[in-house]
């Protein structure tokens, strides 16, 4: 095998990935690949593939994980101790040289700047969402060693006590379990948030609900802040509903250059909407394009820079309303005017 | 909300000081009866925002005669009969008679299905024939002459052996006016409920499929683009452009007197002559646009009073000079309408829904030319001509010493005019003196005073107990009044803010200008917020000046909502009482996203 093939095997750029690559790139990695291919502006990055994980994490780790998950998961103290040891082992095992080389080569292509390192699990059927809170994400990671450490930590988070318990309780097999890791250039957002390309309240597909607050999106996701919220008509672009509450907290990069810090929002910005109407319009345009690309309503994470550049950080199918079977509102009738006759007929 | 006590009972309404004799102006069948306390009535401020004179009561009597006949007797709508009206302190309250018995509904439905189905299936042909009938009625009302009653009758009565003297035609021609008015209203309501019915079906479909779709977006998918009601305003723009081109634009300045401008144009050589010729061409029929909705005699047409069009011209002329005068971009509006409809269609979940959407929208677009255009033919063109003919009879009564001015005829009920004309016919034939002067002049004087006194009365938006459910299709379709509207009215009374329908989006602050009548639109200053009972197409020109619009009455289909959307300004309609709660000069915030108007501070008194 040549070095180039090894690189492609262990690390893949977003552009080379699509929604069919969940096994190789995990759910998040595949979605970012698909988003990039769809033409969305996604902060550039790559995915450390499951092949890298499979090479790096040896059989004995898996064996031990299997024993732990199938043992008494309710004995929390014992499990926590064993899991912590297992985690440390994965974290401290040096990366196999071809994997390290491939990661660093791509990291240098990202100008070796600050990156986000995020776990991207392969588990399907909605478990991804449940896993989300269990696996690690590291923001503002800088430096070659720090990136490699963060990748190992992401892998290791697969063996946290919570993850093991989760799999054990649900009987999810340890065999074939693998994890990809996203390494993506950080953007420092002026504001960030989420948008649903249908109404979260009514399921209405003709509106887009945008929520956002100052700084990193983590403030909103963690519930640290009541976000601004805008309901926009997809078809006419009109903002149908606008709520701009006082936003007191924000998350931003630690001035030391790595990690995230929670801070107070400067008083003059608290009651100012975090998005201008033009920016809302741009988000809606992007949301519609992504929804069209995926063919169903989406749940999207976005960030916008001081310069007004909009990035999409994630997109996944909306699941709440999609799960509700709706009978058709109306079906065609023999003659168009039969609709009126029926309505005015008083149900006769 | 305490439903039972939300609104006063009809019997609890007291007389207004100085107008205690108001009942003498209206027929006995328009009085509230004791049993009317049991029913729910609402003030029809959409059509009757001011107290009505004795003659103008005909604009309640005849339309309700016609619409009731069409819904209850002609098409046999299954769940609703006609609309009853009562007048109190000069204001018109109405209620619809529902059909509640399921067997009766089913029986009516059989008749209805056949008859309404016939109209829907043949709509284009029937509407084409309707236009011929209505323009024929217009020609008839325009051609009615009022006999002059000379000392000796025309020689032709003898040479052609007509055998009938002029005085006979006094009453015959007057009756023809009333009869044509009645016929016009029958035609007016002939297609009306069927047209709105198609719209309501589509509207409710959209609201179910897209729960957050704004009312006005539904309207935008349906609305026609080549609507005749836009023509008068378009004609003004054309005249403004011509004024610049012909070099007579300097004559059109803010506050100019139409008579003086016309005079000056006559002396401006070829340019002036060309402009005057173009004006004459535009006047028939396009200046037959009432300054109201055709329900008050004093809402004159542009033809009768050029003040309104001439108040709009200076602004249009200025825009024309700067090359910024644009007519409605109909092609663009059409494309936008099609785009919106196609996108909503595309968002529907299934092919079945798409097919149903196509049927409903398709039917709406078939019926809408009638819904939009009938107003110009009926309320504007016909009605302004009708009032002018009655005015001609007023002049006759004035010449005969029965009235002081022609305009006073509108202080008499149409049945009283019958008497007055009989008096004149008799007097002319006998060589005697009409006795009407002694009889009617004091009555007219008293009624004028009473109308003044009634003007200051604030009518409650509704009377009587609120019913459990208010779902009469007629009331819902024509007035946009539902249980929710009524609750909003009741709520609005306890609150500083005025709430209504969010009719056009955006938030604007500005100085309020409360106008009860379009005749006062000259008072509106650039950037003010218009607060009015209801707007009609003749208010069109004012939308170029204002920053937002607020109205007491109106819903999805209201003129203010549609025009505000086109101009991109916020509007809140159907507030019930904005003209009562807001005063000219107050600073207000109009929130067209939420449908709320807030008084921020009092202006200088």
Domain ranges in chain B are 3-114+459-474, 490-601
Residue-wise pLDDT tens digits, A187-223: 889 999 999 999 888 889 999 999 999 998 888 877 7
CB contact under 8 A, B353 and A344: no
CB contact under 8 A, B344 and A337: no
User: pLDDT category, B491, cuts 50, 70, 90?
Assistant: low
pLDDT average, residue stretch A121-125: 61
Mutate to test the interface with A, among B106, B212, B346, B350 (most CBs of A within 10 A): B212
pLDDT at A256 exceeding the cut of 80: no
At residue B52, the pLDDT reads 97
CB contact under 8 A, A346 and B212: no
- The torsion of the CA quartet B258, B262, B268, B271, rounded to 10 degrees, works out to 90
At residue B543, the pLDDT reads 83
pLDDT at A348 exceeding the cut of 50: no
At residue A5, the pLDDT reads 63
CB contact under 8 A, A337 and B363: yes
At residue A125, the pLDDT reads 41
Cβ contacts of B505 on chain A, cutoff 8 Å: 238-240
Of B198, B211, B343, the CB nearest to A204: B211
Q: Is A66 exposed, middle or buried (0-12, 13-18, 19+ CB in 10 A)?
A: middle
Following DSSP, what letter does each residue of B215-267 receive, concatenated? HHHHHHHH--SS-GGGHHHHHHHHHHHHHHHTT-GGG--TT--HHHHHHHHHT
- Mean pLDDT (chain A, rounded): 86
At residue B1, the pLDDT reads 37
Q: Is B301 exposed, middle or buried (0-12, 13-18, 19+ CB in 10 A)?
A: buried
User: pLDDT category, A131, cuts 50, 70, 90?
Assistant: low
User: pLDDT category, B342, cuts 50, 70, 90?
Assistant: very high
For A36-47, b/e burial (b = at least 16 CB within 10 A) is: bbbebebbbbbb
How far is C-alpha A209 from the geometric centre of its chain's CA atoms? 18
User: pLDDT category, A1, cuts 50, 70, 90?
Assistant: very low
Lowest mean pLDDT among A241-250, B35-44, B379-388: A241-250
User: pLDDT category, A298, cuts 50, 70, 90?
Assistant: very high
Strand order in the sheet with A310-317: A239-243, A228-233, A207-214, A189-196, A298-305, A310-317
User: pLDDT category, B20, cuts 50, 70, 90?
Assistant: very high
CB contact under 8 A, B473 and A336: no
pLDDT average, residue stretch A310-315: 92
How far is C-alpha B71 from the geometric centre of its chain's CA atoms? 20
Lowest mean pLDDT among B116-130, B135-149, B284-298: B284-298
β-pairing, A11-13 vs A45-48, is antiparallel
B262: alpha, beta or left? (left if phi > 0; alpha if psi -120 to 50): alpha
Cβ contacts of B216 on chain A, cutoff 8 Å: none
At residue A136, the pLDDT reads 81
CB contact under 8 A, B214 and A330: no
Residue-wise pLDDT tens digits, B439-483: 999 999 999 999 999 998 989 989 998 877 666 766 776 777 777
Rounded distance, CA B301 to CA B248, Å? 25
Query: Between B574 and B86, where is the model more confident?
Result: B86
pLDDT at A132 exceeding the cut of 60: no
At residue A123, the pLDDT reads 63
How far is C-alpha B435 from the geometric centre of its chain's CA atoms? 37
For B14-43, b/e burial (b = at least 16 CB within 10 A) is: ebbeebeebeebbeeebebeeebbebbbbb
- As given in the structure block, the two tokens for residue B292 are 């109201």
pLDDT at B47 exceeding the cut of 80: yes
Cβ contacts of B343 on chain A, cutoff 8 Å: 234-235
Cβ contacts of B358 on chain A, cutoff 8 Å: 332
Query: Between A222 and B398, where is the model more confident?
Result: B398
Cβ contacts of B120 on chain A, cutoff 8 Å: 335-337, 340
Tell the residue number behind the tokens 């979260």, with chain if given.
A200
Helix (H, G, I), strand (E, B) or coil at B577: coil
Short-list B505, B226, B242, CA closest to A230: B505
CB contact under 8 A, A329 and B353: yes
CB contact under 8 A, A332 and B355: yes
pLDDT at A128 exceeding the cut of 50: no
Rounded distance, CA B137 to CA B160, Å? 28
pLDDT at B338 exceeding the cut of 50: yes
pLDDT average, residue stretch B389-395: 97
Segment 106-165 of chain A within 8 Å of chain B by CB: none
∠ CA(B487), CA(B490), CA(B491), 5° rounding? Answer: 85
pLDDT average, residue stretch B3-23: 87
Nearest-CA distance A208 → chain B (Å): 10
Segment 532-571 of chain B within 8 Å of chain A by CB: none
Chain A touched by B473 (CB under 8 Å): yes
Of A239, A336, A341, the CB nearest to B113: A341
Rounded distance, CA A119 to CA A314, Å? 13
At residue B470, the pLDDT reads 67
Sorted by where each starts, the structural domains of chain A and their CATH numbers stand as 3-185 (3.30.1490.20), 189-325 (3.30.470.20)
At residue A129, the pLDDT reads 42
At residue A273, the pLDDT reads 94
- As given in the structure block, the two tokens for residue B8 are 């006063």
Segment 314-373 of chain B within 8 Å of chain A by CB: 339-340, 343-344, 347, 349-350, 352-353, 355-360, 362-363
Mutate to test the interface with B, among A336, A343, A347 (most CBs of B within 10 A): A336
Cβ contacts of A201 on chain B, cutoff 8 Å: 212
Question: Hey, which of B465-469, B520-524, B581-585 has the most confident mean pLDDT?
Answer: B581-585
Residue-wise pLDDT tens digits, B151-188: 999 999 999 999 999 999 999 999 999 999 999 999 99
pLDDT average, residue stretch A82-104: 92
Residue of A nearest to B506 (CA): A239
pLDDT average, residue stretch A254-282: 88
At residue B469, the pLDDT reads 66
Residue of A nearest to B194 (CA): A340
Cβ contacts of B363 on chain A, cutoff 8 Å: 336-337, 339-340
CB contact under 8 A, B352 and A332: yes
Other CB atoms within 10 Å distance of the CB of residue B247: 13
pLDDT average, residue stretch A307-329: 85
Chain B touched by A296 (CB under 8 Å): no
CB contact under 8 A, B356 and A332: yes
**How large a percentage of chain B has pLDDT more than 70?**
94
CB contact under 8 A, A204 and B340: no
Short-list B63, B52, B64, CA closest to B25: B52
Chain B touched by A205 (CB under 8 Å): yes
pLDDT at B10 exceeding the cut of 80: yes
At residue A124, the pLDDT reads 46
For A151-162, b/e burial (b = at least 16 CB within 10 A) is: bbbbbbbbbbbe
Residue of B nearest to A238 (CA): B505
At residue B605, the pLDDT reads 42
pLDDT at A113 exceeding the cut of 90: no
CB contact under 8 A, A331 and B355: yes
Point out which residues pair with B373 in neighbouring strands.
none
As a CATH number, domain B490-601 is 3.50.30.10
**How large a percentage of chain A has pLDDT more than 70?**
94
What H or E segment, with its residue span, contains residue B529?
A: strand B529-532
Q: How many CB pairs under 8 A join A and B?
A: 136
pLDDT average, residue stretch A82-103: 92
3-state helix/strand/coil string of chain A: CCHHHHHHHHEEEHHHCCHHHHHHHHHHHHHHHHHHHCCCCCCCEEEECHHHHHHHCCHHHHHHHHHHHHCCCCCHHHHHHHHHHHHHHHHHCCCCHHHHHHHHHHHHHCCCCCEEEEEEECCCCCHHHHHHCCCCEEEEECCHHHHHHHHHHHHHHHHCHHHHHHHHHHCCCCCCCCEEEEEEECCCEEEEEEEECCCCCCCCCCEEEEEEEEECCHHHHCCCCCCEEEEEECCCCCEEEEECCCCCEEEEECCCCCCEEEEECCHHHCCCCCCCHHHHHHHHHHHHHHHHHHCCCEEEEEEEECCCCEEEEEEEECCCCCCCCCCCCCCCCCCCCHHHHHHHCCCC
Residue-wise pLDDT tens digits, B540-570: 778 888 999 998 876 645 677 777 877 778 8
Segment 309-348 of chain A within 8 Å of chain B by CB: 326, 328-333, 335-337, 339-341, 343-346, 348
Residue of A nearest to B473 (CA): A344
How far is C-alpha B575 from the geometric centre of its chain's CA atoms? 18
DSSP state, B468? S
Q: How many CA atoms lie within 13 A of A223 on its CB side?
A: 0
The counts of H helices and E strands in chain B are 20, 12
Cβ contacts of A235 on chain B, cutoff 8 Å: 217, 339-340, 343-344, 347
H-state helical runs in B431-543: 436-455, 473-479, 483-492
């Amino acid at each position: 095998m040549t070095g180039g093939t090894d690189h492609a095997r262990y690390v893949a750029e977003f552009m080379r990935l699509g929604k069919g690559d969940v096994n190789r790139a995990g759910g998040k990695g595949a979605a970012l690949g698909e988003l990039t291919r769809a033409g969305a502006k996604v902060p550039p990055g790559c995915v450390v593939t499951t092949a890298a994980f499979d090479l790096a994490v040896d059989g004995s780790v898996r064996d031990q994980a299997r024993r732990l998950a199938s043992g008494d998961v309710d004995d929390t103290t014992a499990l926590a101790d064993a899991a912590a040891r297992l985690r440390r082992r994965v974290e401290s095992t040096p990366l196999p040289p071809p994997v390290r080389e491939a990661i660093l080569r791509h990291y240098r292509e990202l100008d070796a700047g600050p990156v986000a390192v995020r776990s991207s699990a392969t588990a399907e059927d909605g478990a991804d969402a449940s896993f989300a809170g269990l696996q690690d994400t590291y923001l503002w990671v800088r430096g070659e060693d720090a990136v490699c450490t963060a990748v190992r930590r992401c892998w290791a988070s697969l063996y946290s006590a919570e993850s093991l318990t989760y799999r054990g309780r649900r009987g999810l097999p340890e065999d074939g379990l693998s994890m990809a890791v996203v390494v993506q250039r950080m953007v420092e957002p002026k504001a960030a948030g989420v948008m649903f390309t249908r109404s979260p309240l009514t399921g209405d597909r003709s509106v887009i609900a945008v929520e956002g607050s100052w700084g990193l999106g983590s403030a909103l996701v963690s519930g640290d802040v009541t976000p601004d919220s805008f309901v926009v008509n997809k078809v006419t672009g009109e903002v149908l509903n606008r709520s701009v509450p006082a936003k007191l907290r924000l998350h931003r990069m630690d001035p030391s250059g790595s990690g995230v810090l929670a801070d107070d929002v400067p008083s003059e910005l608290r009651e100012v909407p975090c998005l201008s109407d033009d920016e809302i319009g741009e988000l809606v345009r992007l949301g519609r394009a992504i929804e069209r690309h995926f063919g169903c309503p989406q749940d999207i994470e976005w960030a916008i820079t001081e310069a007004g550049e909009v990035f999409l950080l994630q997109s996944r199918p909306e699941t709440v309303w999609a799960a509700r079977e709706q009978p058709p509102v109306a079906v065609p009738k023999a003659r168009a005017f039969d609709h009126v006759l029926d309505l005015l007929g008083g149900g006769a | 909300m305490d439903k039972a006590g939300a609104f006063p009972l009809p019997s609890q309404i007291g007389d207004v000081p100085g107008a205690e004799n108001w009942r003498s102006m209206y027929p006995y069948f328009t009085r509230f009866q004791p049993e009317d306390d049991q029913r729910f009535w609402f003030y029809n401020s959409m059509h009757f925002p001011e107290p009505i004179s004795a003659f103008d009561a005909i604009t309640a009597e005849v339309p309700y005669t016609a619409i009731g006949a069409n819904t209850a007797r002609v098409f046999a709508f299954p769940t609703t009969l006609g609309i009853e009206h009562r007048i109190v302190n000069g204001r018109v309250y109405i209620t619809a008679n529902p059909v509640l018995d399921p067997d009766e509904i089913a029986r009516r439905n059989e008749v209805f299905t056949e008859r309404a189905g016939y109209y829907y299936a043949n709509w284009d042909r029937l509407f084409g024939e309707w236009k011929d009938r209505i323009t024929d009625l217009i020609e008839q009302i325009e051609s009615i002459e009022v006999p002059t009653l000379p000392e000796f009758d025309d020689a032709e009565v003898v040479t052609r052996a007509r055998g009938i003297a002029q005085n006979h035609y006094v009453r015959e021609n007057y009756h023809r006016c009333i009869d044509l008015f009645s016929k016009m209203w029958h035609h007016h309501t002939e297609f009306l409920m069927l047209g709105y019915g198609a719209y309501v079906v589509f509207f409710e479909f959209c609201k179910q499929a897209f729960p957050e779709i704004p009312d006005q977006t539904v309207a935008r998918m349906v609305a026609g683009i080549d609507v005749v009601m836009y023509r008068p305003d378009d004609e003004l723009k054309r005249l403004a452009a011509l004024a610049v081109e012909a070099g007579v634009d300097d004559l059109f300045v803010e506050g100019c007197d139409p008579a003086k401008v016309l005079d000056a144009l006559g002396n401006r050589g070829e340019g002036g002559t060309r402009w005057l010729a173009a004006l004459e061409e535009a006047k028939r029929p396009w200046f037959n646009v009432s300054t109201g909705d055709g329900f008050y005699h004093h809402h004159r047409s542009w033809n009768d009073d050029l003040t309104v069009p001439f108040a709009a011209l200076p602004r249009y002329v200025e825009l024309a000079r700067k090359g910024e005068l644009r007519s409605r971009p109909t092609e663009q509006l059409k494309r936008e309408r099609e785009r919106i409809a196609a996108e909503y269609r595309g968002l529907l979940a299934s092919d079945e829904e798409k097919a149903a959407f196509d049927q409903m929208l398709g039917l709406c677009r078939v019926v809408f030319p009638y819904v939009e255009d009938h107003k110009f033919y009926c309320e504007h063109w016909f009605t302004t001509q009708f009032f002018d003919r009655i005015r001609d009879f007023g002049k006759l009564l004035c010449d005969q010493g029965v009235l002081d001015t022609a305009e006073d005829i509108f202080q008499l009920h149409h049945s009283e005019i019958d008497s007055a004309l009989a008096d004149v016919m008799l007097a002319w034939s006998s060589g005697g003196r009409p006795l009407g002067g002694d009889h009617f002049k004091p009555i007219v004087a008293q009624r004028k005073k009473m109308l003044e006194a009634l003007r200051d009365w604030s009518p409650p938006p509704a009377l009587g107990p609120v019913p459990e459910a208010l779902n009469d299709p007629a009331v819902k379709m024509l007035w946009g009044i539902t249980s929710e509207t009524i609750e909003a009215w009741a709520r609005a009374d306890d609150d500083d803010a005025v709430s209504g329908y969010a009719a056009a989006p955006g938030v604007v602050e500005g100085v309020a200008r409360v106008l009860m009548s379009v005749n006062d639109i000259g008072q509106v200053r650039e950037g003010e917020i218009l607060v009015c009972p209801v707007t009609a197409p003749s208010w069109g020109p004012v939308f170029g000046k204002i920053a937002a619009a607020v109205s007491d009455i109106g819903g999805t289909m209201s003129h203010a909502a549609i025009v505000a959307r086109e101009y991109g300004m916020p509007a809140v309609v159907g507030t019930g009482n904005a003209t009562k709660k807001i005063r000219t000069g107050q600073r207000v915030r109009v929130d067209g996203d939420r449908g709320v108007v807030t008084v921020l501070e009092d202006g200088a008194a």
